[in-house]
Amino acid sequence: MKRLEVDFGEIQKAMEDVVRDTFDYFLDLETGEVMTFSEEIVREMKARLYDDEYDEIADDIEYIEFDEEPEIPDWMTDEMEMVLEILLDDSGRYIRIPERGSYVAYQSINDFIGTVEDPLLKEELSSALNGKGAFRKFKDVLVEFPRERKLWHGYNAKAMKKESIEWLKSLGLEAAPQHRTL
């Protein structure tokens, strides 16, 4: 099993972004780096690579002349090039970091509620999980309880680290915490 140093906090952030309407996340399986890209750029690059309709339009256009060359910021050009490198990668170096499943998140919340000692708070947190918007309601309840909120964040970080390790293990990788250099 290949050993890979990773930033568990960055993987957690990526996995907990379940909507993926602003950013998408990839892991470099050689360096352990988590790469964050604008979802808009990822979508555009995929469209250019995989859309037959785009290919047909591109084939019809022999030459485009702009009245004025559009200025693309360096960061955007760099990001577009990196996204293309990832999308065209055949070596398996890059992998998209999956979203955390709602069932797994829900189970972590239920497990945490089982650790809460205050019976009234335990009941309030359990009630928050009923119906639509359970995750939001759960977090809203914790706003009024800073100690338990802090305990939840620690509990969730440990659960996410375990999930990250299992995910990486499924890829044939042994995860190790990344050593930071200042």
Domain ranges of the chain: 19-96, 102-167
CA angle 175, 36, 87 (to 5 degrees): 90
DSSP 8-state assignment for residue 114 = T
pLDDT of amino acid 73: 65
Alpha carbon distances (Å) from 29 to 10, 71, 86, 109, 177: 14, 33, 11, 30, 14
**7 in helix, strand or coil?**
coil
Q: Higher model confidence: residue 140 or residue 60?
A: 140
Average pLDDT of the chain to the nearest whole number: 87
Q: How confident is the model at residue 136 (pLDDT cuts 50, 70, 90)?
A: very high
Q: How confident is the model at residue 118 (pLDDT cuts 50, 70, 90)?
A: very high
pLDDT of amino acid 60: 47
Side-chain-facing half-sphere of 105: CA atoms under 13 Å = 16
pTM for the full predicted model: 0.79
Alpha helices (H) in 63-145, listed in sequence order: 74-88, 102-113, 119-128, 134-143
Cα–Cα distance measured from residue 14 to residue 10, given in angstroms and rounded to the nearest whole number: 6
**DSSP per-residue codes, 125-147:** HHHHTSSTTHHHHHHHHHHT-HH
Listed as own residue / partner, the contacts of 87-90 with beta carbons closer than 8 Å and 24 or more positions apart are: 87/45, 87/46, 87/49, 88/49
User: Mind listing the pLDDT tens digit for each residue in 27-79?
Assistant: 999 999 999 998 888 888 887 776 654 445 444 444 545 455 556 667 677 88
- Whether the predicted pLDDT of 166 surpasses 90: yes
Tokens for 179?
A: 């050593």
Cα–Cα distance measured from residue 153 to residue 15, given in angstroms and rounded to the nearest whole number: 15
| Highest mean predicted confidence (pLDDT) among 69-73, 86-90, 122-126 | 122-126
